[in-house]
Amino acid sequence: MIPKTYEEFEATLDQYAPPGEWSEPLKSLWHDAKGDWESSHDIAQELNSQMGSWIHAYLHRKEGDKWNAGYWYGRADKPFPDFSLEDELKILVEANL
């Protein structure tokens, strides 16, 4: 089942894997929320879309690679955020629900 709220998304984080019917962007964000940056990045870099670029940007921002993050925010047509990574994760999840 696809969550309807961020709280429902968070409630799935005790599972071993994200539900199979979820979109690839949502699966990527799930892995990041679980602390698995590599799995999240592996999915994001295969997403040839504006959302994929946005997730990719967020992940590089989280990694501390501001230059690479800036490149991907540009590809996503998003400004470099001035809010927390936690807030951005919630915004990204909600954009994919």
Ranges of residues in the chain whose predicted pLDDT is under 70: none
- The pTM assigned to this predicted structure is 0.96
Structure confidence at residue 59 (pLDDT): 98
Q: Confirm if 40 and 28 have CB atoms less than 8 A apart.
A: yes
The number of angstroms, rounded, from the C-alpha of 28 to the middle of its chain's C-alpha atoms is: 6
Provide the H-helix boundaries in 1-97: 6-11, 24-33, 37-44, 50-63, 66-76, 85-95
Would you state the torsion angle of the CA atoms of residues 38, 39, 41, 44, taken in this order, to the nearest 10 degrees? Answer: 180
Q: Which of 84, 82, 80, 64 is nearest to 72 (CA)?
A: 80
